[in-house]
Copies of this chain bind each other. A is one copy, B any other.
Amino acid sequence: MGRWEPNARGRLAQAAFELFGERGFDQTTAAEIAARAGLTERTFFRHFADKREVLFWGSSDLQQLLVDAVVSAPESAAPIDAIAAALAAAAAMFQDRREGSRQRQAIIAANADLQERELIKLAMLAAALAGALRRRGTGEPTASLAAEAGIAIFKVGFERWVSPAGDQDLALIFRDSLGQLKAVTAGS
């Protein structure tokens, strides 16, 4: 088997999702994932530090995408509009991945350690968003509150999107959730 494997990362990720879904996360080894993908364990570890990373390696791309969207929003944009731009960018990134996102969510929902890791991911995204807003000149606590509001919308909206009944577009769900949050905080 050559060193270069076409789309090894994607094949490993797909095999991992299948096995996590069939056997559970704890009952699956990196060697089994590699075997299912028709690759060696060594190839697995060239792409992922461990099996958990298969579920979280996209986090840093997502964080970069959110931060870039906030930083490049028009100077005149209010903090919440910069956050809305970040949510729109995230929605565009996820829009063709509903089935994969559903599988991932089901795997995470079945495992307490993975749920903790997911919470840490969300907290890190909130901190990154707050930092991006501060770079635009937004003061505290406005930057942190706007960032936490954005992540609340992301969390609640994403769960709605991957739910079995979810058939709406993610971008629409985020816009709708922001509208609901506005209505909630206005007390109406």
Q: Which A residues are closer than 8 A to B by beta carbons? A: 78-81, 116, 119-120, 123, 141-142, 144-146, 148-149, 152-153, 155-157, 160, 177-178, 180-188
Contacts and interface: CB of A to CB of B under 8 A. Distances in A.
Contacts of A116: 116, 119-120
A181 B145 contact: yes
If over half of A's interface residues share one DSSP class (helix, strand or loop), that class is named, otherwise mixed; here it is helix
Q: Which among A152, A182, A186 has the highest number of chain B CB atoms within 10 Å?
A: A152
- Copies of this chain present: 2
Given A142-B184, A145-B156, 14 more contacts: A78-B188, A80-B184, A81-B187, A119-B119, A119-B123, A141-B180, A144-B156, A145-B180, A148-B152, A148-B156, A149-B181, A181-B185, A182-B186, A185-B185
A187 B78 contact: yes
Contact of A160 (B141, B152, B157, B188): B141
A152 B145 contact: yes
Contacts of A180: 141-142, 145
